[in-house]
Amino acid sequence: MSILDTESERLLAAVRDLLAQKGIASATEIADRIAVTDAANPGQGARMVAKAWVDPAYRARMLQDGTKAAEEVGIPMRGMPPLGVLEDTADQHNLVVCTLCSCYPRAVLGYPPFWYKSSAYRARAVRDPRGLLASEWKTVIPATVKLRVVDSTADYRWMVLPLRPAGTDGWTEAQLAGIVREGDMIGVTIPAVR
């Protein structure tokens, strides 16, 4: 049987037809949204982080309103949930999880990594975050640094603005963006010069 003959594909086609017939969403609008969703990737969030590292005024705007800061660098945010930005400091590290399901800042990071939705990550992130980071990512948060776990439970989406690593003085924004990984913006890893 072809995949186009499956129940789920027929159901999808029926829902699409109904959305168009009722004037809720046209085929073009659905295609546009799929294109925007597929185009989103961690490189977009990395560009925001790099800009915040070199431009204090942008950093302030990003912490105030992540959605506007994303739009400022050309990331489409229309119809997306509001984006909040969590600032890492020398005294505090942030870790994002969604214990209820899979809330994730897709507009700026793309599809979540497979483990983000796993029961194990969701449970351990709130119960034993330091142990989770150390055992799965070799990320050791010093005892002097407070760990703040942000459970993304409702209408906001959250990304982490990590600390700029040592050894990057004089780097361009593009060079800096190149070292920011998906995990750095979730808080499971820390940007480093490799």
CB atoms within 10 A of CB 21: 8
CA dist 59 and 162 (Å) reads 12
CB of 168 to another protein, least distance (A): 28
Which of 26, 101, 118, 135 is an active site residue? 101
Q: What one-character-per-residue DSSP string does 16-83 give?
A: HHHHHHTTS--HHHHHHHHHHHHH--HHHHHHHHHHHHH-HHHHHHHHH-HHHHHHHTT---TTPPPE
- Name which of 126 and 134 has its Cβ closer to another protein: 126
CB of 70 to another protein, least distance (A): 17
Which of 2, 8, 26, 98 is an active site residue? 98
CB of 141 to another protein, least distance (A): 9
CB of 64 to another protein, least distance (A): 12
CA dist 81 and 38 (Å) reads 17
102 is an active site residue: yes
2 is an active site residue: no
CA dist 138 and 13 (Å) reads 45
Distances (CA, A) of 93 to 36, 97, 180: 31, 14, 16
- Name which of 16 and 148 has its Cβ closer to another protein: 148
101 is an active site residue: yes
CA dist 43 and 181 (Å) reads 8
Distances (CA, A) of 112 to 8, 10, 188: 23, 27, 13
Interface residues toward another protein, by CB under 8 A: 82, 84, 99-100, 126-130, 143, 146-156
- Name which of 50 and 80 has its Cβ closer to another protein: 80
CB of 39 to another protein, least distance (A): 27
118 is an active site residue: no
Which of 102, 118, 119, 135 is an active site residue? 102
- Name which of 51 and 122 has its Cβ closer to another protein: 122
Residue 1's identity, in one-letter code, is M
- Name which of 36 and 149 has its Cβ closer to another protein: 149
Catalytic site positions: 98, 101-103
